[in-house]
Amino acid sequence: MKRLSHVLGLVAALWVSTAVAMVPELPELPVRGHILVDFHSGRVLSEHNSRQRLEPASITKIMSAYLFYQRLDNGLLSLDDQVPVSRNAYQTIGSRMFIEVGSLVSVKDLLRGVVIQSGNDATVALAEYIAGSEAAFAQLMNATASELGMQDSHFVNSTGLPDPQHYTTASDIAILARALIREFPEYYQLYSERSFTYNNIEQHNRNRLLWRDPSVDGMKTGHTSSAGYCLVSSAQRDNRRLIAVVLGAERVSDRFEASQQLLNYGFGHFETYQLYTAGQVLTDVRLWKGEKSVLPLGFIEDTFVTLPKGRYDDMRAGLRINARVEAPVFRGDAFGSVLIRLDDQEIATIPLVALQDVALGGWFGRFTDRVLLTVTGLFN
């Protein structure tokens, strides 16, 4: 079920985003690229160079953490596992958790070292524990990026240390952040912790927005001299959640100011509504050559739309359904879409999917349907 939810979430991330009248544009922000996305609907509310390949620095650790959480979720990793610290992990340059070479450190502590302290040493230790080497772990990162639909990302290490072949985009990072929050809410809570003490050394979360804005509850900072200052932030106000990604700020303060400006803009000018509930049947279609002749179409997940404030009554929805649907059919297969329009602009396209599996019917039923389809084709 999580896999199906994940796939549908990717589709939501590709919804159409179109500027709508009545909403002012943001002024130019002092970053190389940014994107602002509504978590529930997937709608892009603001973007600039969002598909330009840029260095992510320690934003990379969101992908590393996603893989760690996957393995915790499927039982291949435990919070109580004791991870040996290799010399390679101990000697990794950059931000550190200050683990000691040859020591054993629990996964629980290492995760906090990754998320809160942005420890490169902690990240490499976990990567090696899972995949045997950091290079092998990077292969897992790239495979996962492909599964998530991150089409413009490539990773060569688990930490975000500079490399010409290590890059991503603001858009891809937003897809990743949505997936992590949606699939692993119990682990996402780590991103709101403000400090962590290990080896008698207390270090504070570098995300200053956790102190500035009470609605912000994550996610991750990043910085190298070549990548600039980066930040992924997420905030929840009145049951709405927004995700802002800024990459390549020249000053540390710029990444926080730009992120705060994005979040305030999104919450101030837009609102999100739930249109349909999980399992809701919107329509039925004729199914050919199947065990059943009628296929219900609807939504596997709760479905949302984001609109400019005060425009809900102006919204119009229409259906587009495949002209011909044939068995076999699998739950979650898309056979149409709901088109959401506002002011003659299409602002969202929501997949309309099969709500059940339907196998091929018997030979006589398939033969009969084939004849009917042929006759129908002749008259149409």
61 classed as catalytic: yes
Q: How far is CA 337 from the centre of its chain?
A: 21
DSSP one-letter string for 28-76: PPSSSEEEEEETTT--EEEEESTTS-B--GGGHHHHHHHHHHHHHHTTS
Which residue in the block uniquely carries the two structure tokens 């780590």?
Answer: 190
118 classed as catalytic: yes
Amino acid occupying residue 317: A
Considering 61, 95, 233, 234, which one is annotated as catalytic? 61
Considering 41, 46, 58, 233, which one is annotated as catalytic? 58
- Are 155 and 172 spatial neighbours (Cβ–Cβ below 8 Å)? no
Which residue in the block uniquely carries the two structure tokens 């399992």?
Answer: 279
Considering 118, 233, 259, 337, which one is annotated as catalytic? 118
The H or E element that residue 206 is part of is none
What letters, b where the CB count within 10 A reaches 16 and e where it falls short, cover 94-120? bbbbebeeeeebebebbbbbbbbbbbb
Q: Is 339 exposed, middle or buried (0-12, 13-18, 19+ CB in 10 A)?
A: middle
What is the C-alpha separation between 229 and 246, in angstroms, rounded? Answer: 8
Residues with catalytic function: 58, 61, 118
